[in-house]
Structure 1
Amino acid sequence: MTQDTILANAKLVLPTEVVTGHVVLRDGLISEIGTGTSVPAGALDCEGDFLAPGLIELHTDNLERHISPRPKVPWPHGPAILAHDRELAGTGITTVFDAMRVGSIPSGKGRYLKYARELSSEMLALRAQGVLKISHFLHLRAEICSETLTDELAEFTPDDRVGIVSLMDHTPGQRQFRDIDKMKAYVMGKNNLTEDEFAAHVEKLQDLQDRLGAKHEAAAVAEAGRLGAVLASHDDTTSDQVTTSARHGVAVAEFPTTVEAAEMCRDKDIAIIMGAPNLVRGGSHSGNVAAKDLAKRDLLDILSSDYVPAALLMSAVQLGNMWGDMARGIATVTRTPAKSVGLEDRGAIAVGKRADLVRFAQMDGGAVAREVFSLGRQVA
């Protein structure tokens, strides 16, 4: 017989409210929800901690950090994937869309080499072996300014669990890198380029945009449709860019850089994703719009940990406190991202949903994950 897991005496973060009660987990699903502070025999006493749906991460570069822990230092992919998987589980993330760059620049200094097809195949193999703690999907970051985008996209099929394809245009002088000086500090530091090498890098990217930008953008939009993936934009800055995104069928806008772009996203019914590190730090490291300012304007729908997995829970709790509505804050990392990518089986504490849960407590204005469950099994 299946043995139930009961989590009791918890502040349950439901879709629109927080109530004290318990949940019963059975066969990987939530089978019962009740209210009150009682702790049945054999139940886990959550001691008044919050119990929320497992967090859903739509865009994280964290896996890239594990496969290359230092510049030009490769790490074996299998151990890197496992370390990444366990790190995310420990922060309360139970569903992740792992961002992998497609579109390389194999020539010249500061080059970017192809890796996504090989890495994703290894990810899928580990998933098939049952050794991953949480649920993994792919997020293909389609680099418009590249030499190989169309060939790399063609290597993926609808069986590869590609959930998101995002349109990435890092041409210097626009979007994220409108400020060339900020791009210069970032790129030169990351790739150890000289002044002349950086200038050549900028010239090369601008040339790639001139020659291949329109072709690559159209190809990425088409490939998202072939793969059955949600289409995302990235770093929209102007109303015109958002209008173009809407015309392509973009459903989510990652990290719009201005209030103007975010307001147009709202007008076009495009969900707005902002970076959790931006919110936690109080501003953008690239000098773009602050997530907190968009939150105050009701122009923030979803949070992404981006490059700091632990920031996802911290920022959602921060939003809950800012808005005076913890259920609303937690929804930015659970129910709303699930809805935006068509995952109807998770993202809420409700009967019949996946038993993906995180027990957490607030500490010094932040939050700490105490226990994490994926399909009813404790993973952290």
Structure 2
Amino acid sequence: MPSSGPSAVPLTWLYVPADRPDRIGKALGGEADMVIVDLEDAVAPENKGVARAGVVALLATPQPRVEVRVNDVRTPYGQADLHALGTLLHGSGGVRVPKVESADEVRWIADAVPGVPLRLIIESALGLERAFEIATASPAVAGIGLGEADLRADLGVTDEAGLAWARSRIVVAARAAGLPAPAQSVYANVRALLEAFPRLERLEVRGGTGLELRPVRHESLRVLRFETGGLPAEVVRAVGACDLLALERLDLWLGVQDYGGNATVADLAPILSGERLPTLRHLGLQDSEIQDEIVAAVASAPVVARLESLALSMGVLTDAGAEALLGGQPLTHLHTLDLHHHFLTDAMAARVAEALPGVEVDLSRREKPVHDWRYVAVSE
């Protein structure tokens, strides 16, 4: 049961993407003390406007169990969030502010949404050093906590022990400021979830830094999806070492080096062999800085012959990668091939479409390099 009483401190928090109203409704029907409707990491840049409008509609009626995580207020997205939501936040459980680094920033936010409880998330070394100053910056501050994924990246920490001091520091700062004890950051041990729920059929994970996965055997999982701006190589290798006997759909957003996306083609080899994935029908290897190398490996991968759909989208795919794909094994058996967000020339895009007349090929969102820099669709 949710914690009772108007002054009760929430004990359970459930994150829901702001662009998924169906999930928001389902979450509010559950027993979490607070539902965090997330406008930040859970929403792709192109969807933020629609997501923001949806939150405005949601808050048109009071939602005391809804807390809204806005975008970084130093960005146009975050400033647009505060401007659009404004007084509507008075009927909510408050606003969750990411990437807080200074007391001045807190006071500015408190002035922008007066009377709204603020829960401040510290995600950098600078913010951690100023934790007590941030916690006492305004009477509106209802709590502080760590954003452990980004903090790990900032500190270069790869294990739990590396966060021990940071966790202690935030607890002490909260106590000294007279605030409730901080909630633990999102639990990221995927193996533990799979072992705890042997009949689980679908697992979708958003966020990559701090993820933990070791090889596991699971006989029920049909869909596994990692949406990240940086999927660690050890997680990719662990997926390849798992025995997922019922898995039909696998999607990996690999991301960029700066956010922990350090997987190589060699790390993908066990997945591309398909030996431990006997029922796989869809494979997505997406959002990578090394998309050309991945596509070249896919062109000769044994697993492709049994796929119905293949997604190689959202990454830095150029004519070199497309040439390798066309020169590899036949792909005419596929129902769909997703290549959206790419850097192909018009001529190469036409060649790909012409080579696969019976396949639904998504070549939308042709991007242009910025000063010779090519970028993935989702990084931070």
TM-score (norm 2): 0.30
Greater relative CO (CA pairs within 8 A, separation 6+): 1
The structure in which a higher percent of residues are strand is 1
TM-score (norm 1): 0.30
